[in-house]
């Protein structure tokens, strides 16, 4: 099974959307492999958003992500990164389709509720950045036969 990273951003925490957002992933049938709350700092955010370091909004993004603790999660399933990206919707909440997390809960391109890995390859790097050895769990999800066909698992 593929793993992917999801971060509930400060906008999600401050608006009391934690349970609603997590329930979207659970309802889809993804398996939670790890979860923790943490306060992000400039060092980890500079690394995580290095691809944006030349953009004029780089510091604004980091400031937003440091404004309160976030919830870091690892979700697992077949094509997990692609599935999560479909569930969260376009980056700009005003452009995200209704029914997606951002489409239902966001009016912003920055305060857009959630970060998610953009691919399985990115997820591997990002999960190592935020989870230490032993913080991700492998357990039997009893609902698995009800989520996938026999030849899918």
Q: What is the Cα 132 distance to its own chain's centre?
A: 17
Q: Is the dihedral of CA 136, 118, 153, 143 positive or negative?
A: positive
Give yes or no: 51 in active site: no
Q: Is the dihedral of CA 49, 52, 54, 55 positive or negative?
A: negative
Query: Which member of 9, 48, 102, 115 is catalytic?
Result: 115
Q: Which of helix, strand or coil describes residue 100?
A: strand
Active-site amino acid positions: 115
């Amino acid at each position: 099974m593929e793993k992917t990273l999801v971060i509930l951003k400060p906008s999600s925490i401050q608006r009391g959307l934690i349970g609603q957002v997590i329930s979207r992933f659970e309802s889809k049938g993804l398996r939670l492999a790890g979860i923790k709350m943490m306060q992000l700092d400039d060092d980890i955010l500079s690394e995580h958003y290095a691809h944006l370091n030349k953009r004029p909004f780089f510091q604004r993004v980091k400031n937003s992500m440091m404004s309160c603790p976030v919830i870091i999660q690892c979700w697992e399933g077949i094509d997990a990164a692609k599935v999560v990206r479909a569930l969260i919707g376009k980056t700009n909440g005003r452009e995200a389709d209704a029914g997606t997390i951002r489409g239902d809960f966001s009016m912003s391109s920055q305060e857009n509720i959630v970060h998610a890995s953009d691919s399985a390859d990115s997820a591997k790097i990002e999960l190592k950045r935020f989870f230490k050895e032993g913080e991700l769990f492998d357990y039997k999800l009893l609902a698995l036969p009800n989520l996938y066909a026999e030849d899918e698992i």
